[in-house]
Structure 1
Amino acid sequence: MKNLLSSCLIGLTLLGLANGAKAERIKDIASVAGVRSNQLVGYGIVVGLDGTGDQTSQTPFTVQSLTNMLAQNGIALPPGANPQLKNIAAVSIHAELPAFAKVGQTIDITVSSIGNAKSLRGGSLLMSPLKGADGQVYAVAQGNLVVSGFGAAADGSSVTVNVPSAGRIPGGATVERVVANPFGNGDGIVLNLHSADFTTATQTALSINQTMGLGTAQALDGASIRVNAPLSRSQRVAFVSLLENLEVITGDAAAKVIVNSRTGTVVIGQNVRVKPAAVSHGSLVVTISANPIVSQPGPLAVAGQTVVVPQSDIAITEGDNKMFLFNPGVSLDEIVRAVNQVGAAPGDLVAILEALKQSGSLSAELIII
């Protein structure tokens, strides 16, 4: 069994070299299980706007946020007071907490208006907590916004460039809590491929074993490879650094044809093949033009009135596209050349590919998005 497995692995390697496949680093095709970022979200208020904030009469939560903030600072508004402010805005805040982020480090945040503020340009975000999915506070955000969009209005006309109701604060949040990860646990790590592929998983394990020694890595399935790793955390870091720079001859992707029905974009994969088929694709164009005629009564007519009589001309033109033949095992380049020779538009190409798939002549998965 071991000899059979070794022969298969050597055969896969030689096949990849024969096909001229390009080697890729493990860090570009896989990631370590458990080493991931986490999403954070929060709510806050932006102050200091130049009259472009929320219409507080229409966004009561903005007034409530302001009232709560003033109360925390020992200022109480009179009962029934309804401040009409235009220089504050209620915003949502979201950020991504990277793996291994430590307390005291800063991360970038994105701030977006959730009221009817026209622009956040020139505003400052007041201290706001950012929470994770477990409800715990992991960072605190505050700072001056950088807004790329702007707007201007005068005499009933207005112009807006980009989106002035959203902005970013580089390094605007400070990490306050560390997220635990399983990187240092156990006696090994698991590499997860970005795109599941049995050939790539096998080749990755083979590349690791050739460098680190036989039995170091084993493919668990088409997406995961388990690798024995040192127990010492510092040695494990150096070990993963060596792993992620190893090169692997990846397997070719499955034959696919991707069609975007909204934009007419067609992407044909490298391994798409067509079985023998003859295609004839002509276009039928119907043109209807309206030429109304004005009819007037005669010069001596006692009664009558001028009327418009509709008149339409209909013309039908049928395309003279010729039939073209796909030979057995025709390649992607030949498919595109044959379709271009008959002057088919992207929409025509979609129709041809769908017909080929229905006839069983297209050896590829047809995906319409």
Structure 2
Amino acid sequence: MLAGINGWNARAIWVRRFTRRGWLLFGVLTLTLPGFAADTAAPAQREARVKDIASIEGIRDNQLVGYGIVVGLQGTGDSQQTTFPTQTLAATLLRMGVSVPAASIRVQNLAAVFVAATLPPFARPGTKLDVTVSSAGDARSLEGGLLLMTPLYGADGKIYAQAQGPLVVGGYSVSVNGNTKQYNHPNTARVPFGAMVEQGVPLELEGRSKFSLLLNDADFRTAEAVSQAINHELGRPAAHALDSRDIELSVVHGEDIPEFLSQVESVEVPVFPRAKVVVNERTGTVVIGGTVVLQPVSILHGGLAINVVSQFEVSQPNAFSATGSTQVVQQTQVSARDKPVSRIELKQGATVDDLVRSLQTIGASARDVISILQAMKSAGALEAEIEVL
């Protein structure tokens, strides 16, 4: 090994070769940058925790929903054309011993709302939840309102929580003499810790010998890698992939189940995400994953713009004319403009960054990009799944 040359590692390799004049001894000097191996290393493997890519079957959230009324509004509640808020108020007053016909109620300080919450797993009575309140009628704003006690139901029709409390609105709406100024969405609000759990969803872990680990994205390679990583971490065949999503976990008799599940969820495993392109044509958003592979392709993209403009003109008869009448005449102008064709050429080994830069060079809009990606997919030049939101 020779001395370093300006940070380079130098190595001499002496080789003997027989020629007509005898043996020839010559050396080959190889230089290697520090920090770089002589051979090209494989790209780093992406890893993730099991808890980030999978979930235990049965250990899940449950959605709750309820219907109630919000009171205390400053004249921004539901109008008289919305009849069900007054019917709800009449029924509420009747339960409190006050009998008032719903037709005689004239208030604008209340609003009918739907209340939504999420019941986490292993929730116990007394656990507090955040709730989201949304107007069900034509109320202008829920600012300053108070949600009266509202039962929250699960999918089975049972009551799992009760919600009540003052609303927190992230916007406002002000209307004076027909002039309106609005900020964000004042018809939706939140009540932090506004619901209290009355009963939880029963889920017993003790005594179970098997669990199912469900991958968020079905993939046979990922399922097999997860099962092998869990078995290697635990030192026994505890995981077995049943299909591309379901991995069966076996528990040893007498083993502490929470500790076992914590070990499983903390295992880091290699992840093999699908190549995917996500487009939202409503907003013009395009998201291209880094695993997308492009094939050599030549793209020609142009555009045809057609404008139709209508103008209304008033045609009047001549002065002192006794037969003519004033008429409104529509004048229509049609113009068409064909944009010149722009060309993009992607060679072998092109990356997503090359595609994005090329599209920016020709001035393609977000919707142009969506059309180009769909055409590339049809032509077989885009090896990825296109998901349209």
TM-score, length-normalised on structure 1? 0.79
The Cα offsets for residues 193-250 of structure 1, whole Å up to 9 and x where unpaired, read as 11111111111111111111231111111112111225558x2112211221111111
* Aligned residue number for residue 8 of structure 1: none
1:54 aligns with: 78
What CA distance in whole angstroms lies between the structure 1 residues aligned with 2:108 and 2:305? 57
Aligned to 2:86: 63
Matched, 1:336 2:360: no
- Counterpart secondary structure, 1:84: coil
| Native 8 Å contact 2:125 2:199 kept in 1 | yes
Amino acid at match of 1:18: A
Unaligned runs of 5+ in 2: 1-40, 311-328
Q: Does structure 1 residue 169 correspond to structure 2 residue 169?
A: no
Aligned with residue 175 of structure 2, among 121, 139, 153: 153
Identity of aligned residues (%): 42
Partner Cα distance (1:312, 1:175) in 2: 65
Deviates more, 1:59-68 or 1:267-276: 267-276
- 1:1-369, aligned counterparts within 5 Å? 18-55=42-79, 57-77=80-100, 82-181=104-203, 183-184=205-206, 186-230=208-252, 235-253=256-274, 255-282=275-302, 319=340, 321=342, 323-369=343-389
2: CA distance, partners of 1:93 / 1:288: 47
Deviates most, 35-44 or 145-154:
145-154
Alpha-carbon distance, 1:21 to partner: 1.7
Deviations 1:246-288 (A, max 9, x none): 11111142x3333333333333333333334333335567899
Cα 1:318–1:193 shift into 2, 3 Å: closer
Aligned-partner Cα distance in 1 for 2:93–2:149: 13
Deviates more, 1:279-288 or 1:151-160: 279-288
Secondary structure of the residue aligned to 2:283 is: coil
Segments of 5+ residues of structure 1 without an aligned counterpart are 1-16, 291-307
SS at 1:319's partner residue?
strand
Matched AA of 1:361: A
1:337–1:177 distance in 2 versus 1, CA, 3 Å:
same
Deviation per CA, 1:76-121: give whole Å up to 9, x if none. Answer: 23x6860212222222211111110001111111122222322222
> CA RMSD for the aligned pairs?
3.7
Whether contact under 8 Å (1:257, 1:266) holds in the other structure is yes
Instruction: Check conservation: 1:34, 1:183, Cα contact below 8 A.
Output: no
Given the superposition, is the C-alpha separation of residues 121 and 338 from structure 1 closer, same or farther in structure 2, using an over 3 Å criterion?
Answer: closer
| Alignment check: 8 A CA contact 2:71 2:109 kept | yes
CA shift for structure 1 position 150: 1.5
Give, in whole Å, the separation in 2 of the partners of 1:333 and 1:171. Answer: 45
Partner of 2:137: helix, strand, or coil? coil
**Structure-2 change in CA distance of 1:94 and 1:277 (3 Å):** closer
Decide whether aligned partners of structure 1 residues 210 and 68 sit closer, same or farther in structure 2, where only a CA change above 3 A counts. same
Q: Distance in 1 between matches of 2:123 and 2:332?
A: 75
- Return closer, same or farther for 1:244/1:156 CA change in 2, 3 Å cut-off: same
Q: 1:107 to 1:283 in 2, by over 3 A?
A: closer
Q: Verify the 8 A CA contact 2:304 2:336 in the aligned structure 1.
A: no
Contact 2:125 2:198 in 1 (8 A): yes
2:375 is paired with a residue whose SS is helix
Whole-angstrom CA distance in 1 between matches of 2:144 and 2:365: 48
Which of these two proteins has the greater Rg computed from alpha carbons?
2
Kindly indicate whether structure 1 or structure 2 has the higher relative contact order, using CA contacts under 8 Å at least 6 residues apart. Answer: 1
Give distance in 2, aligned partners of 1:190 and 1:244: 12
**Alpha-carbon contact 2:77-2:108 (below 8 Å) kept:** yes
Structure (1 or 2) with the greater strand fraction: 2
Report the AA paired with residue 92 of structure 2.
M
State how far apart, in whole Å, the 2-side matches of 1:153 and 1:139 are.
36
Pairs aligned (count): 342
Q: Return closer, same or farther for 1:285/1:107 CA change in 2, 3 Å cut-off.
A: closer
User: Structure 1 325/231 Cα, relative in aligned 2: closer, same or farther at 3 Å?
Assistant: same
SS across alignment from 2:168: coil
Asked if the contact 1:188/1:230 (under 8 Å) is kept, the reply is no
Aligned 8 A contact 1:44 1:125 in 2: yes
Closer, same or farther: CA 88–248 of 1 in aligned 2, 3 Å:
same
Q: State the shift of 1:30 in Å.
A: 0.9
